[in-house]
Amino acid sequence: MQTIEIKGSAQFPRVAWSRDGKTLVIISGGWDRSSCQVFRHNGNLYQEIANPFGNTSVAAACFSEDDKWLGTESPEGAVQLWDPVTFTSTAAPAQVSGSFGLASNVRPRCLAFGPGKDEMMTVLFDGSVSILDLRSGSMRSGCARDKQVMCFAFSPQQAKRRLAAAVLRGSIVISNPETLDQPIAEPICFQGAFCSARFSSDGTKLLTVSGPFGDALDAVRVWDVSLQEPLPTSVTTPLDSTLVPTWLGELGQVVSAQWRNLDDEDVPASLDALAKKYSAKEVDGPYAAIWKRFFSSPNLSLSPPLARGR
C-alpha cells in the first residue's frame, strides 16, 4: 500500500486515472484556485512528476479511453491535449480550436472526452454542462441547467451499446450519448449525496463510489447496466386491493439501493440474497411477473436489469 500526499486543500479532490493505471492526475483546491499533481507508476510505486504542464494552469483533467491523450482545462476554459508519456502539448487527434470560454465567476469541476468524436465536455461548479467541438470550436449545452450535474461518465466506444451516466446529487441518470437530456431507464440511487462513477471496459458495469460528503466516500457498488426490453403490454399487475407481497418492497429497496437500516438483518442487501430468501410458492401470484423480470426462479438470477447493486 502507498500513501500519496495531496498538496493544497480541497473537500473533494478530482482524480483522473489512466485506464492502464500507470498515470494519476490529482487536482485539489476549490472554486477560486487549484493545484495539479501528476504521478506515474514505476513498477513498484507512484512517483510525482515535477511541473509536468509547465506554466499551464490546470483546473480539470481526463484521459481518452485508449490512454493516448490527456486533456486538460484551465480555470478560464482553455483546452489542451497532451501526450501522457512525454507531457508535450499536441493538437492531435483533432486540431484544438476554441475554448469553453468561461466567465470569471464560473470554474470547471469535471472534464471528459465525449460524447461525440472530437468532442469534450466540461461540468462547472454550478452544475451546468457544455460540449466543445475540438475541430470547429463550436459549443453547445449538454444538459438542462436545473439538472445540477456533478460529473459525467461514458462507456467505451467498443461497448455493444454506448451509454452516458450523468451523476447528480443522490442519483445517476443513464442516457444515450446523443441525447443526454432523455433518460432511457430508471435512475440509479446511490448512498449519500456525492459520487464518482466509471464504466467497465465492456460497458456493461458501472462502478460507483459515494458517500454523504465529498471527502467521505464510503460506499462502493458495482451496477449491471445491461438494459432489458420493457415488459410486454400483455403483462399486467393488479391495480386493486390485492395485498402487495413483502418481497416486492424488499426488491424495490435492493434495486434502488436506497439507504437501508443496517440493524435490520432481515432485509437482503443484494438481489442474490433476496433470491435465496423466498421460495417459488412465496413469489407466486399476481405479482410473479415482476419477480420473473429479475429472476428466472427463486434461486436463479436472470440477466439482470439496470441498477443491480452488489
Question: Which of helix, strand or coil describes residue 255?
Answer: helix
HEC sequence for 27-44 = EEECCCCEEEEEEEECCC
SS3 content of the chain, % helix, strand, coil (to 5): 10, 35, 55
Q: What residues does each domain of the chain span?
A: 1-114+124-142, 144-227, 229-310
Separation CA 215–CA 213 (nearest Å): 5
What is the amino acid identity at position 239? L
The model's confidence at residue 73, banded by pLDDT at 50, 70 and 90, is very high
Q: Does residue 274 or residue 8 have the better pLDDT?
A: 274
Q: What pTM does this model have? A: 0.76
What tens digit of pLDDT does each residue of 232-265 get?
666 666 666 677 888 988 888 787 665 555 556 6
First to last CA, the chain: 25
Q: How far is CA 44 from the centre of its chain?
A: 29
The answer to whether 142 touches 130, Cβ cutoff 8 Å, is yes
Separation CA 151–CA 164 (nearest Å): 11
The x, y and z cell numbers of residue 140, run together, are 453547445
Separation CA 82–CA 91 (nearest Å): 8
What tens digit of pLDDT does each residue of 105-159 get?
888 989 999 998 889 999 998 889 999 998 888 999 888 767 789 999 999 988 8
